Amino acid sequence: MTASITSLFGIELPIVQAPMAGVQDHRLAAAVCNAGGLGSLPAGLLSTGQLSTELAALKAATSKPFNVNFFCHVPPAPDPEREAAWRRALAPYYAELGIDPPPATSSGARRLPFNADAAAIVEAVRPAVVSFHFGLPAAELLARVHASGAKVVGCATTVEEARWLEAHGADAIVAQGLEAGGHRGIFLTKDLSTQLGTFALVPQVARAVRIPVLAAGGVADAAGVRAAMALGAAGAWAGSAYLLSDEATTSAPHRAAIASPAAAHTALTNLYSGGAARGIVTRLMRELGPIGSTPAFPFASDALAPLRAHAEKAGIGDFSPLWLGQNGSGCRTGPAARITRELAGAA
Amino acid sequence: MTASITSLFGIELPIVQAPMAGVQDHRLAAAVCNAGGLGSLPAGLLSTGQLSTELAALKAATSKPFNVNFFCHVPPAPDPEREAAWRRALAPYYAELGIDPPPATSSGARRLPFNADAAAIVEAVRPAVVSFHFGLPAAELLARVHASGAKVVGCATTVEEARWLEAHGADAIVAQGLEAGGHRGIFLTKDLSTQLGTFALVPQVARAVRIPVLAAGGVADAAGVRAAMALGAAGAWAGSAYLLSDEATTSAPHRAAIASPAAAHTALTNLYSGGAARGIVTRLMRELGPIGSTPAFPFASDALAPLRAHAEKAGIGDFSPLWLGQNGSGCRTGPAARITRELAGAA
C-alpha cells in the first residue's frame, strides 16, 4: 500500500540523505539533491537567521526538491539540581583539562523546537519536504507546513509511534531502527527497551500504516536498500553512509574515529544532549557509562561544550558526540553524489 | 563467498528452525525436516537419557538431516551471596503466592554444557548438523563432533564473535541480531551494548567470514528471508515464527501472551536464567527491571522455578520466560511444515 516515494517527493532515486545536525550544511544536501536523491538540511542547531542563510545557499545550489528537518521536542523546565549534579560528574574532566566549568545557565536552548518563526521560513522558502524529529509540532503549526505545499515526514521508532504520526498528518514515515546513528526519534515513551531493530521495525510499520515508509538504521549500501524494500520500505533514509563524504562537515576526530576499529562499537548514550543517541563509544561513555543522570534533552550539552571544544582543538574526540550507526562499514569517502547513486544501485 | 546452505546441510529449503529449549521437542524438529527445512532439537535442558530418547524419536519421525543444539557455556562457581540476594529480591513473591523459597542449592546444573557424554551421543546418532550456543566446546570435544561427520554451526552476536567461530572450526554461522527471541549467544564479552541489530550484523558478518551465514532476529516471513539473503545471508534461522505452531510445546500462558498486544513489547532480561535473553515484558520484568543482580547463568532460574510453576498452574505467566523476538507479527498457528514452506516462499 506504499505510494512511490519518488513521485511523492518529486525525486529520481528512492534515497533520502538523513539530516545530521552538527556534521553537515547545505552543501551535502545540495549534492544529494543534484544526484537525484532527496538531500536534507538539519535546522535543529541553527538560529532563524542561520537557517535562512543556509536555505538561500541551498536554493542557489540546487533546483531540485529538498527536505528541511526540525526538532519538535517539548523543552523541559530547567532543573538546577540535575544541572549541578551533571557538573559535579564532569568536575574531574574540567580539572584534568584545566578549564573552568561553564556558568550553570542553560543555553541548550540553541536546540529550539519548530515554532512560528520556523513556520514563516517554511512558508517563504516552500521546501518540497519538511521532516520532524521527536513527534510532530502542534496542529496549528503543522497546518501551516501542509498549507505551504510541503510533504510532511515523521520519525517512528515503534509501531505505535508510526500509527500516531499517520493519524496526526504525516505524509511519510521514517522507521528508525535501533541501528541508526544519532538521536533516537522516540517521543511516545522514554523506555528505550521499546526500540526495535530495523529488520523488525520496517515490516511491522509498513503493515501498520498506509503511507510510505523509509527505512533508517543500518542501510549502508545498495544491498541494504534492496533488503529494506523487500521488508516493505518505499526507500531508504541513510545518514551514516554520508558521514565521510566530501561535502559533510564531520570533524577531524569524528572522521578519524569512523575510519578506526573503534567504529565497530557504538552504543546508545544520553551524555551528549540528555536524549538517547547512538555514537561510537568514547572515553566519556566508557568512564561514566553511556546512560547517565544528565539534565533532560537538550540541556546536557551545555556543561560538556567547553570540554569538547578544548579537546577537539587538540584533535581529541573524548568529549565529542561521535554519532554513527551500527553499520559503519557503509561509510565511504568521496562525493555524496556517488554515494547516493551507489545506494540506489545506479552507480 | 557463501556456499549454498542447502548443499552444506543436505536440505531442500534455506530455512533452519532455531532450537528453542523449553518450548519444543522432537516433533517440531521432525515436522520442519520433513517439509524440507532443517529442524533442530535443543539439548540444553535435557539430561543425557532424555536426549537419547528424544533423538530416537526424532530419527523415527524423519529420515531427513537434522540439527542438535547444545549450550557450551562455562558453568560459573556457585555464589551463595548472589543466590541469597536473589532470593531476598523474590521474597515478596514467595509471600504473595504463599510458597516456600526453594533450598539455596543450585540445580541450574540442569543446563549442562556440551561434554564427553554428549559427544558420545553425537558419535552414536550422527546428526547432519550440530549447533552450539555461547561459543564452541573445547577443541578435543569439537574434534569428535567434526569426526562424526556433522557440520558445526556457531552463533555470533558480533563481527568479532563470527571471526572467532570461523577460526575455531565452525562450518556455518548464525548471525543473531538483537531482535532475536530467547538467549543471546554472546560469549566474547558481557557488554550488551555490543549487540547489533540484524540489519547491521548480517552484512558485516557475511563480509567478515568465508563460511555461510544464517540470519536470525526478526526473520518472520518470506519477505524477511528474501531481505536477509539480500544482506548476504545464505538462509534463515527462524525461531519465533514457530512458537505458535501445532508442534511446539509452548505453554498456554506463553501462547496467550504472544497472541496479545503485550507481544509488541519485548526486552532483554537476565531475570530468568542469569543470561541475557529477549522475551515479552512480564510483571516480574516490570517490577524488578529487566536486568537485575541475579546469580550468573544458568543459576537464576532455580529460585524462580516454584513461583513459575505455581503461577502457570493458574494460567499466569508473570514468572515465566515468555521468549519472543521483536517481530512477533510473524507468529502463525498451524502446522510447522506450512510455516517452513511459507518462510521459503514456497507455500
pLDDT digits (tens, 9 = 90+) for A29-80: 999 999 999 999 999 999 999 999 999 999 999 999 999 999 999 888 889 9
A105 vs B134, residue with greater confidence:
B134
d(CA A70, CA A42): 7
Nearest to A224 among B217, B221, B231 (CB): B231
Percent of chain B with pLDDT over 70: 97
Q: Which of A179, A281, A187 is nearest to A237 (CA)?
A: A179
Q: What is the DSSP string of B84-117?
A: HHHHHHHHHHHHHHT-PPPPSS--GGGSPPP-HH
Helix (H, G, I), strand (E, B) or coil at B168: coil
Q: Which amino acid is at A9?
A: F
* β-bridge partners, A240: none
What value of ipTM does the predicted structure carry? Answer: 0.96
**pLDDT mean over A282-308:** 95
SS3 readout for A30-74: HHHHHCCCEEEEECCCCCHHHHHHHHHHHHHHCCCCEEEEEECCC
C-alpha distance across the termini of chain B, in Å: 28
Residues with Cβ within 8 Å of A160's Cβ and at least 6 positions away in sequence, in order, are A188, B264
Class of domain B5-343: alpha beta
Task: Tell if the pTM clears 0.80, that is, is over it.
Answer: yes
Q: Which amino acid is at B320?
A: S
Interface membership of B201 toward A (CB under 8 Å): yes
d(CA A116, CA A113): 10
Q: Which of B306, B268, B302 is nearest to B285 (CA)?
A: B268
d(CA A338, CA A245): 9
Cell of A245: 563524504
Helix (H, G, I), strand (E, B) or coil at B223: helix
Kindly tell me the sign of the dihedral angle through the C-alpha atoms of A121, A26, A33, A220. Answer: negative
Interface membership of B220 toward A (CB under 8 Å): yes
Q: Which of A53, A41, A32, A45 is nearest to A245 (CA)?
A: A32
Interface membership of A228 toward B (CB under 8 Å): yes
> Residue B228: closest CA among chain A residues belongs to which residue?
A227
- Asked if residue A207 lies in contact with residue A229, where contact means CB atoms within 8 angstroms, the answer is no
Residues with Cβ within 8 Å of B315's Cβ and at least 6 positions away in sequence, in order, are B252, B253, B256
Pairing assessment for the beta strands A277-280 and A182-183 based on DSSP bridges: antiparallel
Q: How many CB atoms lie within 10 A of CB A204?
A: 24
- Is 50 exceeded by the pLDDT of residue A163? yes
Cell of A236: 531508504
- Is 70 exceeded by the pLDDT of residue A108? no
> Which residue of A157, A158, A178, A199 is the best one to mutate when testing the B interface, meaning the one whose CB has the most B CBs within 10 A?
A199
Helix (H, G, I), strand (E, B) or coil at B61: helix
Residues of chain B with pLDDT under 50: 1-2
d(CA A121, CA A119): 5
Kindly list the domain boundaries of chain A, sorted by start residue.
5-343
Q: What is the pLDDT of residue A103?
A: 79
> Residue A263: closest CA among chain B residues belongs to which residue?
B194
Chain A nearest CA to B319, separation (Å): 19
Banded model confidence at residue A347, pLDDT cuts 50, 70, 90? low
Q: What is the pLDDT of residue B346?
A: 76
Q: How far is CA A233 from the centre of its chain?
A: 19
Backbone angles phi and psi of B325, in degrees to 5:
-80, 180
Percent of chain A with pLDDT over 70: 97
Helix (H, G, I), strand (E, B) or coil at B42: strand
- Asked if residue B282 lies in contact with residue B223, where contact means CB atoms within 8 angstroms, the answer is no
Q: What is the DSSP string of B245-310?
A: BTT----HHHHHHHTSGGGG-EEEE-TTTSS-EEEEPPHHHHHH-SS--PPSTTTHHHHHHHHHHH
d(CA A215, CA A156): 10
Query: Chains A, B: CB contacts under 8 A, how many?
Result: 121
Length of chain B: 347
CB < 8 Å to B217, chain A: 197, 199-200
The rounded mean pLDDT for chain A is 95
**pLDDT mean over A248-277:** 97
Residues with Cβ within 8 Å of A52's Cβ and at least 6 positions away in sequence, in order, are A121
Q: What is the pLDDT of residue B260?
A: 96
* Residue owning grid cell 552543501: A27
Cβ of B197 and A177 within 8 Å? Answer: yes
d(CA B234, CA B230): 9
- Asked if residue A213 lies in contact with residue A181, where contact means CB atoms within 8 angstroms, the answer is no
Q: What is the pLDDT of residue A2?
A: 46
Banded model confidence at residue A106, pLDDT cuts 50, 70, 90? low
CB < 8 Å to A159, chain B: 264
Q: What is the pLDDT of residue B219?
A: 97
Cβ of A226 and B230 within 8 Å? Answer: yes
Q: What is the pLDDT of residue A240?
A: 97
Q: What is the CA radius of gyration of chain A?
A: 19
Q: Which amino acid is at B99?
A: I
d(CA B88, CA B91): 5
Chain B nearest CA to A49, separation (Å): 38
Q: What is the pLDDT of residue A107?
A: 59
